Structure 1
Amino acid sequence: MNWQAEARAQWPILTVFGIFVGAFALVAVGFWRRGALLIGIGVAVAAAFRLVLSDETAGLLVVRAKPLDFATMVTAAAAMMHIAATIDPLGTN
């Protein structure tokens, strides 16, 4: 299989990776709260993919059993979004 076919097969993790790249770009230019929120959204997207996709289609998002993966990712996403929404901005965006 060539690299393009491999990339197509791993579209769920590449989508989440793209969201993370955007989040880290926001953090790099000083919008760290928005970047942190986008990281939480990225993890929530990963959780949704893990919930609705089969193990074969979810690819690298599969770590353990589907319920455990989903619960872990939802918890991490909720914590990250809560922190991003409630932490004092300290003069930043």
Structure 2
Amino acid sequence: MTRPPLYVRRPFLAGLVRQLPLLAVLLVVGVGLLLVTFEHWRWGLVVVGLALVGAALLRLLLPVRRVGFLAVRSRPVDVVLLAVVGVVLTAVALAIPGG
């Protein structure tokens, strides 16, 4: 006798597992915002930028059924937008003099 899939046995848990990539990105963004709050704005913005680059990599590498709400548009559009915004945010944060 085969067991039914997880989404049938425990739909809430299956939905939560599907959103783990987004949860990981949001957790890293939260750490970055916490750094900004405690006046380490440059490193906070670098962390947020790298979180967006990481989101782009997750969107690129994970199949659609595993990526959850990181999939908003088509894969190429999501990857390019997340990567470009992440790289630009990181570059601007590191390029501003003083700190």
Q: Scaled by the length of structure 1, what TM-score is found?
A: 0.89
Counterpart CA distance in 2 for 1:30 and 1:56 is 39
Q: Secondary structure at the match of 1:30?
A: coil
How far does residue 9 in structure 1 lie from its aligned partner after superposition?
A: 1.9
Counterpart CA distance in 2 for 1:83 and 1:46 is 19
**1:28: which partner in 2?**
37
Q: Deviations over 1:34-86 (max 9, x none)?
A: 00000000000100000000111111000111111101111101100111110
Identity of aligned residues (%): 27
Counterpart CA distance in 1 for 2:66 and 2:48 is 22
Runs of 5+ unmatched residues, structure 1: none
Runs of 5+ unmatched residues, structure 2: 1-10
Q: Scaled by the length of structure 2, what TM-score is found?
A: 0.84
Letter of the 1:38 partner, please give it: V
1:46 paired to 2:55: yes
Which of the pair has the greater relative contact order for Cα pairs under 8 Å at 6+ separation? 1
Structural RMSD (CA)? 1.1
